[in-house]
Amino acid sequence: MVDGIHFVGEPTIFLENIKKNDDNDHEFFLEEKSKLLKACAEIAILTEMTKKDAMSASDIIVFFEKNCDTSLSPGTIYPILYRLERKGYIRLLPNRKKKFYFCSESGRKAMEDLQRRIVDLQSFIIFLLRL
């Protein structure tokens, strides 16, 4: 279980097996992991924001570096933040020199819905990998 979301299989075992493979396989894994993280960045950011009072773009960049071994630039982060804001999932804290965002009630509801549907998402990814 990770952050209240149940995953099929043990991620640590999967990552240990990846490390055992040769460098070409490992490089392929890292590239695909990076692409997948960028594709799921909205979910990752919104998930992290549900745990914090507020986050800046630099906080999000640090989060990805520490927790996902992936570096995302401000040019990647800000468009995601703007999309989440337009959807009403996050809000900008007013009257700050530095921009801080927080998760709105709508964003929390969207994350609760995603957590209820995580098994469907996992099944879809497993299906894609078996093609």
DSSP 77-120: HHHHHHHHHHTTSEEEPSS-SS--EEE-HHHHHHHHHHHHTHHH
Quick one: pLDDT at residue 22?
Answer: 52
| CB 89, CB 46: distance < 8 Å | yes
pTM exceeds cut of 0.85: no
| Helix (H) or strand (E) run with residue 66 in it | helix 57-68
User: C-alpha distances in angstroms, 39 versus 7, 20, 54, 71?
Assistant: 19, 26, 23, 14
- What is the chain's pLDDT, residue by residue, as a tens digit (131 residues)? 333 433 344 444 545 554 555 556 777 777 777 778 777 889 999 999 999 999 999 999 999 989 887 788 999 999 999 999 999 999 999 877 889 999 999 999 999 998 889 888 888 888 888 86
d(CA 96, CA 47): 23
CATH number for the domain whose boundaries are 11-130: 1.10.10.10
Question: What is the residue extent of each domain of the chain?
Answer: 11-130
Report the b/e string of 50-68 with b at 16+ CB within 10 A.
Answer: beeebbbbebbbebbeeeb
